Structure 1
Amino acid sequence: MKPSTLIVALVLVVSDIFIWHAVVFGAPQNAYELDFLDVGQGDAELVQLPGGVKILTDAGPDASVARALERALPSGDRYIDIGIVTHTQKDHFGGYDALVGKYQFGAILFNGITDSEGVPSEWKLLREKIARERIPLIAVAAGDAVTHASSALRIISPSSEFIQSAELNDTGIVSRLETPSFRALFVADIGFTVEGFLWKKFDLTADILKIGHHGSKTSSGAEFLRAVSPKVAVVEAGVKNNYGHPAPATLARIASSTGAAIFRTDKDGTVRIVVRNSLLEVFKEKK
């Protein structure tokens, strides 16, 4: 797919429940839908493929993900085909505690780390809960993929170069959704080191980029951003969070290196992107 073939239409929807639900649930079955869920200071992305296959990457820090999912999914829908825990930090996996048991999962993928220095105790408790619910917990790494019809979610990282890193952010699962119409890149919390390794080794071009590490000043380097060349960039961060995310310098790099339309869950609420017939539409929950 040539990036120039994708038409970008930015449709900003006010936070009216009736309008939001009419837009969200009125999409045709042949559309791709990506929700960057407003879960506060954390990450959670829901991808819905044509035919209803659902992939949830991360679940934020707490039970707020359950409320966000209820708004994003049709009433009564309690099945998610694939859950992904990108890495073992609570702002990425904590919300799964509220989902496992309430939702059915076909499988949950993770980076293979069970116990190591810096991993919170809640990760062990979550693994035990997943086992009690008899949900397959599958370790994945660079080179693996989840495929459905003409779409594939390809795992780009971690590889052997980073899975043993003492910096948990380096171990995060980086994946690219590849479809006949568009590509979307999800980069967890990786920083400059992993970014540099990836852009030198792989084709990272994507129409949609989930900005790394909530817009931290140590992520989203200029070379990496130019390699991805997104048309839409989404930052997931909490309102008035204690970390200063997203950093002004990072927002400036995104703007100067890509020219992408930038959306932020701290200002826009849940950000939904619908792709149909090579038309990309962006809806935001808040005014």
Structure 2
Amino acid sequence: MKIASLFLSCGFWALMATHDSFCIGFLGILFFLFLWLRFHKRGLLWIWVGLIALSLWLCRPIQQEVHPGVYHIYQIKQNYVLARNKKTSIIVYGIEDPNFYDCYYVSRVERIDHLKNIHQFSFSDFMAKQNIQYCGYSSSKQFVSSSHSLKSQLYSRWKDNKVIQSNLYGIYQEETPSIVTRLGLPVIGIFYILKRRIQKYISKEKAQILLLILMLGYGYLFLFTVSFVRFFLLFFYTSIFKKREWALSASIVTFLCFLPGYATDFVFVFPIVYRLLSYTKKRKQHRAFVLAISQLIYFHELNIPLLLCFSWIRMIHSYIVLFSLLPFGQSFSNLWYDWIQKFPLSHFHYVPGLLFYILVILFVIIPKKRKMVCIALCILPWIQPYMDPFFHVYMIDIGQGDCTLILEPFHQSAVMIDCGQSFYRDNVKEIIIPVLKDLQVKQLDALILTHSDFDHDGGASELEKSMPIKQVIRSRDEIPKVKYPFFSLLPKRDASDTNDESIVSYFSYDGFQYLWMGDASMQVEQALMNQYDLTVDVLKLGHHGSNTSSSMTFLDQLRPTVGLVSVGKKNHYGHPSSMVISNCHTLGIHIFETRRHGMIHLFSFKGILCVETATHLIGIVKTRIIKP
């Protein structure tokens, strides 16, 4: 029966991870048949039917109504706060000196809009796990009232203590060592220390009751973080159930009922899998393996020194945080921060692909071949880029600007068209370089800068400092040195303004043709129609979809299958033009915009062209027969 409880809880976990009613129904039926054949107990089947109904209810779409009004602060971060009005929670920007339970009037609310790129952290998705989809703006002038609670008084006392701020409140400053953020809140380590100490003086049962009271007190005075909730629930059920399988099962189901959005989050997945491995014979080796795999899947990097020393460093760090609560402890903890900042963090960066997951599954299901699978997993990151047979085109979401990366199969070449910069952030440092690292692009064969506008070539100098670039192209007479057909159209032309000086790139692969227009206007489009007989499958619309480009005549003659628009949300230029988008729809052109879909990824192989977006759209765009 205890094993059956684990099967039920893990099955419920799988349903919640899908977060889709159709998938819940399909998986629910399959698991129902498994339970029937495996255990032959009607009681288990009825419990499972109840869990299916519960998961459908928890995963139902919830319509939020968010309005301006008075909100009180319940969580504080570095650059924003989380505030609540009745049952509605939002992010609030603009409050300079916040405190817990302070009330502010929020005059303007809007949906959270952030850039989305494949494999990159998405702030809007992160907040959606907490069912927060809106943000608001307030200021000190819109202050309504303050709280005199014990929680707010403690925060006022310790708001200048950086060690307490980062380790008990999760408010990380820019100077906080990166290793501290990776260790997470050390509260769990502190409670393990207290548990060992207390059990030396009182019985185990009394120690459990005392620790549960202390945990509730900590959560009230500081934070009930996701990891702390998971830890508290497991500790609570361990004190109730004698069998650890029942305790683990109950904690999984209860956690997912309270925080369903975190079913696939690292702070829940890794500790639970880690604990499930305690049922295996070689649990120490398996735990190290799972920790390494989890870091690669969730963070796309592996730090060997931290992986080997994680438990020791976290234990020491927990003692340091306890010591920092004393009046003279902060200076000592600052010395610890200075030392830990120098801890070697040699990052191994790798984004797992399909073959990686296949090897992980083989590791689990074929115990006799685990050594060979481990060797293959170690070699795979170094050879994976050179095993990729697809031709890739990535339109990177950088907001109001242009940046496209073109990768030839087997990493034979990497060409970038434009490298736009922003006045609000460093696009190269924060977006483009991380994307290139994830794609394991270590150098560019060519960087084509279509023209001299800041949103097209503003990041070129910074990119040149960050990685080798064999060829920087600023002239229409020059083309990248690649093996597939790549042309600069209308190299000799008179330009009336900067936009019309844009390099127009035309390239083809796997039988598909691509046309990148830069910011070229209708005059250039007319010249293209007069001089060339173009066949185009994918068109990057000129000037971010503006009505100065993409004339109806031009679109009608080219008739591309896909039209791409690189544009920022709520830009003050009004891009793209509703008339241009309407014309595309009339002509049957499928439009993808970075402001709506985030990064747009096109990839082809032997006459099949597919599309994938950062908002999880994926499908086949076009197929054609390639003659041998």
Helix, strand or coil for the counterpart of 2:399?
coil
Q: Note if 1:148 corresponds to 2:148.
A: no
1:168 corresponds in structure 2 to 498
Report how far residue 24 of structure 1 moved.
9.5
User: 2:520 maps to which residue?
Assistant: 190
Q: Is the 8 A contact 1:183 1:205 kept in 2?
A: yes
Q: Counterpart of 1:173 in structure 2: which amino acid? A: I
- Aligned partner of 1:42 in structure 2 is 401
**Is residue 159 from structure 1 mapped to residue 159 from structure 2 by the alignment?**
no
Q: How many pairs were matched up?
A: 240
Q: CA deviation at 1:223?
A: 1.4
Deviation readout 1:18-46 (Å, 9 max, x if unpaired): 69955699885221100001111011111
CA distance in 2: counterparts of 1:265 and 1:82, whole angstroms:
23
Write out aligned runs for 1:48-63 (5 A).
48-52=407-411, 53-62=413-422, 63=426
Q: Where do 1:21-36 residues align within 5 Å?
A: 29-36=388-395
- Tell me if structure 2 keeps the 8 A contact 1:37–1:65: no
Instruction: Give the equivalent residue in structure 2 for 1:260.
Output: 589
Partner Cα separation in structure 2 for residue 154 and residue 192 of structure 1: 20
Candidates 438, 453, 464, aligned match of 1:74: 438
Structure 2 letter corresponding to 1:37: I
Tell me which residue corresponds to 2:607: 278
In structure 1, the partner of 2:153 is none
Contact persistence 1:146–1:152 (CA under 8 A)? no
Which structure has the bigger radius of gyration? 2
Inter-CA distance 238–159: structure 2 relative to 1 (3 Å threshold): same
Instruction: Give the whole-Å Cα distance in 2 for the aligned partners of 1:32 and 1:105.
Output: 20
| Separation in structure 2 between the aligned mates of residue 194 and residue 178 of structure 1, nearest angstrom | 21
Q: Which secondary structure does the structure 1 equivalent of 2:595 belong to? A: helix
Cα 1:48–1:224 change in 2 (3 A) is: same
Contact 1:79 1:105 survives alignment (8 Å): yes
The equivalent of 1:250 in structure 2 is 580
Aligned partners of 2:353, 2:532: CA distance in 1, in Å?
36
Q: CA deviation at 1:256?
A: 1.7
Deviation at 1:97, TM superposition (A): 2.9
Higher share in strand = 1
Question: Does 1:64 find its partner at 2:434?
Answer: no
Aligned to 1:199: 529
Residues 285, 159 of structure 1: CA spacing in aligned structure 2 closer, same or farther, 3 A cutoff?
A: same
Superposed CA RMSD in Å reads: 2.6
Q: Quick check: 2:471–2:480 contact (8 Å CA) kept in 1? A: no
In 2: Cα distance, 1:44 partner to 1:269 partner: 12
- The equivalent residue for 1:239 is 569
Identity of aligned residues (%): 27
Deviation readout 1:234-273 (Å, 9 max, x if unpaired): 100011100111110010111223x121100011111111
Question: What's the CA shift for 1:222?
Answer: 1.1
Code of the aligned partner of 1:146: P
Runs of 5+ unmatched residues, structure 1: 1-12, 112-139
TM-score by length of 1: 0.76
CA distance in 1 between partners of 2:453 and 2:441 (Å): 27
**Contact 2:473–2:479, Cα closer than 8 Å, also in 1:** no
- Correspondence 1:100 to 2:459: no
Give 1:193 deviation, angstroms. Answer: 0.9
Distance 1:24 1:61, change over 3 A: farther
SS of corresponding position for 1:99: helix
Distance in structure 2 (CA, Å) of the matches to 1:23 and 1:266: 26
The alignment partner of 1:193 has SS state of: helix
Report the structure, 1 or 2, having the larger helix content. 2
**SS of the residue aligned with 1:195?**
helix
Which moved further from structure 2: 92-101 or 181-190?
A: 92-101
Distance 1:205 1:276, change over 3 A: same
Deviation digits for residues 142-199 of structure 1 (CA, Å, limit 9, x no counterpart): xx543533x121000342333xx3x111110001012242111000001111111111
Q: Relative contact order (alpha carbons < 8 A, sep ≥ 6): 1 or 2 greater?
A: 1
CA distance in 1, matches of 2:522, 2:548: 6
Match of 1:117 in 2: none
